[in-house]
Amino acid sequence: MRPNPVFTIAGKDHLKALHDMTRSISRENLMNEPKQLIEKEVEAMAETLFSVSEFLLHNPETAYQEFKACEHISEVLRRNGFAVEEGAGDVETAFLARPAGCKATRPAVALLAEYDALPKIGHGCGHNLIAAAGVGAALALTRVLGENAGGVALVGTPAEEGGGGKVRLIKGGVFANMDAAMMIHPGQYNIIGKGMLGRIKFTMAFHGRTAHAAGSPDQGINALDALVLAYNGINSLRQHLRPDARIHGIITKGGDAPNIIPDYTEALFYVRAETIDYREEIFNRVLNCATSAAAAVGGSVDIHVHEPSTDPMRHNHALQDAFIANMGLLNIAVDKDPGRTGSSDMGNLSQYMPAIHPYLAICDDDIPSHSTAFRDATVSERGKAALLKGAKLLAMTAYDFLTSENLREQITKDFAAGMSSQGLH
C-alpha cells in the first residue's frame, strides 16, 4: 500500500485563477467558463470520439492482444498533441500519454482507457466507449489548461476482463507519480458509487488412482467422487455466507471414460466478497471443503490461484461528490443502484490511490452487460450521448481535482479513512 499522496502544485497561480473563476460565477450560469470550454471542446471532437469507439467495436481484441486498439488510440492522441509511451509498465498493449511540450507535474490525475473485448461477443462490456470517453476527457482538459496541463495523463489499461492489467501497471510503476484515477463505464443506470467485489480465481485439481470401474473398483481412488464431495460441501457453505459474498464454479474435467475410475479431475472456481478480509476467509473455508473431500476418498488435491486476484472497490466520497456535482451541471440524474455487481481490477487501483468508476446509462435494464445487445448499444444514439457526457464529466471532475486544493485534501482524508473501514491487510 502506497502512502497518502503529498501534493505540490505547478503553475499554481494559473490554476488558482481558474479555480477562483469557478467560485466567482453564479450558479445561475450553470457552469464556470473553464467547464463551458470543456463542454465545447468535447462537442467539437464528437466525430473523432465516435470514430475511436467504432474502430474498437469493429476490431475487438481480447486481453493482452489489443495491438490494433493500442496503436489506433495512440495515433489519435499523437495527432492531437500528445506524447505517447507504448508498452508502459512493461505491458506490451498498455500506453501512457501526456500533453506534448508539458513537463509532468503534480498533482496529477490518471484518466483511464480500457479497450479489451470479450471472447466471441466482442465489446459486450462497452470498453470501446470507455476508451473513447477517456480520450475525449484528456484532449478537452488539456486544451482548456493549455501550458498548465502537466498534471493530465491518459493511461491505456489493457486486460480488464480477467487479465488484471491495472495490477501489472501498478507494479510497473505507471501510477507512481499520479494522485487520482478516473474512468466511466457504460451500464443500465447512472450510478456513482457502485460496489465491486474482490475476487479470487482458482483451480482445484483432485488426484486419485485409476482402476477398472467394474473389474477392480476396490483398487481405485475416485478423484471425481472427491470433486463432487467438495462441490456439495461448497454448496452447503453458501447458505452461511453474508449477502455480499459469492462462490461459483464449474467442473472442467470429470474423467475419461465411465469404465475407468478417474485419477484426475479439475474444477475452476471464483470466490468473491466486499472486503479483502472476508474474501480471504471464504477462500480458506472453500479450501477446507476441498482438502476434506480429498481426504475422505483417500486422494489429494492441489489448489492453483490464478493471479492477480481483484480487490473490492474503495470508495472515495469526496471524489464521487465532485463527479455528482458535475452531473448536476449537465442535468444528469443519479439513479438508485439496483445492487447488481461484479469484480474489476479497478478495485485494486482504488486500494492504491483515490479513484472513481461511475456508470452512465446507455440502455434499459432489459439488456444485460456482456451481451451482443449491450455491445450494439455502445454505438446507438443513446450510447453516443453517454460517451460525450462521460468525456465531459471526467474532464470537469479532473479539472476540479487539479485546481482545488481543498478538494484534494478531502479526497486524501477519505482515502486514509478507507484503509481502516474496508477490512484491509
Report yes or no on 17 lying in a domain: yes
Which of 259, 283, 310 represents a domain boundary (last residue)? Answer: 310
CATH of the domain at 208: 3.30.70.360
Residues 345 and 379 in one domain: yes
Report yes or no on 3 lying in a domain: no
Alpha-carbon distance of 234 to 285, in angstroms, equals: 9
pLDDT tens-digit series, residues 360-397: 999 999 999 999 999 999 999 999 999 999 999 999 99
Report yes or no on 35 lying in a domain: yes
Handedness of CA 165, 170, 171, 173 (dihedral sign): positive
- Determine contact, residues 306/121, Cβ cutoff 8 Å: no
Residues 140 and 228 in one domain: no
Which of 310, 341, 367 represents a domain boundary (last residue)? Answer: 310
Under the banding of pLDDT at 50, 70 and 90, the label for residue 419 is low
Residues 306 and 367 in one domain: no
Which of 310, 336, 352 represents a domain boundary (last residue)? Answer: 310
Per-residue pLDDT, averaged over 277-292, amounts to 97
Residues 295 and 163 in one domain: no
Under the banding of pLDDT at 50, 70 and 90, the label for residue 129 is very high
Residue span of the structural domain in which 218 resides: 198-310
Report yes or no on 54 lying in a domain: yes
pLDDT tens-digit series, residues 152-192: 999 999 999 989 999 999 999 999 999 999 999 999 999 99
Residues 333 and 347 in one domain: yes
Cell numbers at 330, concatenated: 449537465
Cell numbers at 367, concatenated: 439488456
Torsion angle of the four alpha carbons 276, 280, 286, 291, in this order, in degrees rounded to the nearest 10: 160
- pTM of the model as a whole: 0.87
Report yes or no on 208 lying in a domain: yes
Report yes or no on 295 lying in a domain: yes
Please state whether beta strands 95-99 and 82-86 pair in parallel, antiparallel, or not at all (unpaired).
antiparallel
Identify the H or E element spanning 136.
helix 127-145
Residues 139 and 28 in one domain: yes
Under the banding of pLDDT at 50, 70 and 90, the label for residue 340 is confident
Per-residue pLDDT, averaged over 252-266, amounts to 97
Residues 277 and 334 in one domain: no
Per-residue pLDDT, averaged over 108-129, amounts to 98
The pLDDT, as a whole number, for residue 8 is 35
Report yes or no on 7 lying in a domain: no
The pLDDT, as a whole number, for residue 19 is 46
What average pLDDT is seen over the chain?
A: 92
Under the banding of pLDDT at 50, 70 and 90, the label for residue 11 is very low
Largest CA distance in the chain: 89
Residues 148 and 21 in one domain: yes
Q: How many domains does the chain have?
A: 2
Residues 36 and 180 in one domain: yes
End-to-end CA distance of the chain: 9
CATH of the domain at 180: 3.40.630.10
Per-residue pLDDT, averaged over 401-420, amounts to 91
183: Cα within 13 Å, side-chain hemisphere: 27
Q: Tell me whether the omega of the peptide bond preceding residue 354 falls within 30 degrees of 0, making it cis.
A: no
